[in-house]
Amino acid sequence: MELFELTASALSEKLRRGECSSVEATQSVLSRIQATEDKVHAYVTLDGEKALAAAEETDRLRAAGESLPPLAGVPIGIKDNICTKGLRTTCSSKMLHNFVPPYNATVMEKIYANHMVVLGKLNMDEFAMGSSCETSYFGPTKNPQNLDYIPGGSSGGSAAAVAAGEAYVTLGSDTGGSIRQPSGCCGVVGLKPTYGAVSRYGLIAFASSLDQIGPLGRSVDDVAMLYDVICGHDERDATSARREYAPVYGNLDASVQGMTIGLPKEYFGEGIEEEVKTAVLAAAEELRRQGAVLKEISLPSTDYALPAYYIISSAEASSNLARYDGIKYGYRAAEFDNLIDLYETTRSEGFGREVKRRIMLGTFVLSSGYYDAYYKKAKLTQQRIAAEFDAAFADCDVILTPAAPSTAFRLGERIGDPLKMYAADLCTVPVNIAGLPAMVQPCGRAKNGLPIGLQLIGAKFSEKTLLGVGKAYETATGAFGVAAVK
């Protein structure tokens, strides 16, 4: 077994025992990247030199007898909408193609403080708007499980890098499913934490009331380790939750004995592929075998989550993206007549189609005369959806659903049809709407070989419970490991 194929937790153990060095692990991943990146295209920016220097520094500290945190020396990739000081951060947009942040996101300060080795920045749908990674200005990422298929999105690069062995773990962000849907497509584990659990300071904003940074990895333990690093209160994010976070990794209770697992019937009905349903129900059966009680529940407003999401997220996006005007940073049009023309030409040339579509939709729903009909209605629907989840958690410890209605689709298949593309987030969007934590992990393969993902949804701040259930399932069935990339 090559070093790049290890899980982050296995590598951490090896590093601690002195069985390999961080430089060796980093070199192994960098040669893997060299071998597969032409096919996968997970990265927008690679920084091998700086990664090796960081690995050397960690090895030096370890040799000097310093006590290091568990993920010290472990190579990580970062989604390209998380600000990294001195390392280009593009949001996969022409608008920010040359933006070098003068500061680190809070999560990056934590990653560096934990002596992790940053490999580079990962591809995504432009400004995190998309479910296939095809709206990237730098071209699409391919699914390492089958290169003719999309890796999911928007954190497609983050999921693909982990699946291909081009990183041990990665950071993604999730506004409507952007960590979980690609995790399902690529056969990896991805956690969208409770809204407020991880600081958004330095995450380039898409829809601020829904955005959340989270970890991806090849095992539940890896995701737990990285979650421990990034969670916590931050005074620079006004929506950050003030609470204590006990370490999850090493303390997971991988047992479902006596737990009640809710199966909402709305997530197993029309629009969900049979193969997906069968695999997720088989996973439920496995958990029942381990001592859990399965309970059919109903979340009646599920169908309204997607429309409410598109109103709220587009409204917030239209406001958040107003800052891109060609003045202080990023792209500026070469020719213009006056200041207004500079703004308009810069924005028209700098944003791609999907981003413009969402800005236009958001501007429309917030415009005079339409606010009550759309935005207010969507916010009221959001309240109802959150209340239905609350009621469900009175009877259930966790809720189990498919990660997405289907497995990964072919590149180009849905890019011309926004509504079909949006439907890929059907199972994940309600979680953001309600501000809950949820995790996706693989639960088998479809006949065409592509991974099927299950989603575990928990009450607010129940990450430890989710990861415990996920680990119980993973221990019984095994994780996927690194994809062959052929």
Partner 1 sequence: MKDFDIQHIAKLARLKVSQEEAAQFEQEMSGIVEMVEHLPAIDGALEVSVDNAMQLREDEVRPSMEREAILANAPSQEAGCFLVPKIVE
Residue numbers at the binding site for partner 1 (CB under 8 A): 98-100, 102-103, 196, 235-236, 238-239, 241-242, 301, 303-304, 306-308, 310-311, 318, 322, 325-332, 336, 338-340, 342-345, 347-348, 351, 356-357, 359-361, 363-365, 367, 374, 376-381, 383-384, 418-419
Kindly state the smallest distance separating residue 124's Cβ from partner 1, in Å. Answer: 20
Residue 154 among the catalytic residues: yes
Catalytic option among 178, 301, 318, 406? 178
* Among 154, 219, 240, 318, the one annotated catalytic: 154
Within 240-336, where are the H helices?
274-289, 305-320
Nearer to partner 1, 57 or 349 (CB): 349
Q: How far is the CB of 419 from partner 1 (least distance, A)?
A: 6
CB of 383 to partner 1, least distance (A): 7
Cα separation, 17 vs 35, in Å, equals 29
Residue 112 CB, nearest distance to partner 1 (Å)?
17
Q: Kindly state the smallest distance separating residue 321's Cβ from partner 1, in Å.
A: 9
- If you write DSSP's letter for every residue of 169-230 in order, what string do you get? EEEEEESSSTTHHHHHHHT-EEEEPPTTSB--TTBPPSSTTT-EEEEEESSHHHHHHHHHHH
Residues 6+ apart with CB under 8 A from 353: 135
Nearer to partner 1, 231 or 408 (CB): 231
Question: Cβ of residue 101: shortest distance to partner 1, in angstroms?
Answer: 8
CB of 184 or CB of 362, closer to partner 1:
362
Task: Identify which of residues 239 and 260 has a Cβ nearer to partner 1 in the complex.
Answer: 239
User: What's at 368, amino acid-wise?
Assistant: S
Rounded-to-integer distance, Cα 462 and Cα 449, Å: 32
Task: Enter the tokens of residue 222.
Answer: 């890896």
End-to-end CA distance of the chain: 18
Which residue in this structure is represented by tokens 């469900």?
392
Q: How far is the CB of 478 from partner 1 (least distance, A)?
A: 37
Are the beta carbons of 273 and 452 closer than 8 angstroms?
Answer: no
Residue closer to partner 1 (CB basis): 327 or 391:
327
Beta strands across the sheet bearing 293-297: 43-46, 117-122, 75-79, 169-174, 212-217, 189-192, 438-445, 451-457, 398-402, 260-264, 293-297
Any long-range contacts for 84-87 (C-beta under 8 Å, 24+ apart)? 84/108, 84/118, 84/121, 87/45, 87/47, 87/50, 87/118, 87/120, 87/121
Q: Is 79 a catalytic residue?
A: yes
**Helices of type H across 332-410:** 339-350, 353-366, 377-392
Smaller CB separation from partner 1, 35 or 100: 100
For partner 1, the closer CB: 263 or 333: 333
**Euclidean distance between CA atoms 270 and 262, whole angstroms:** 19
Residues annotated as catalytic (active site), given as ranges: 79, 154, 178
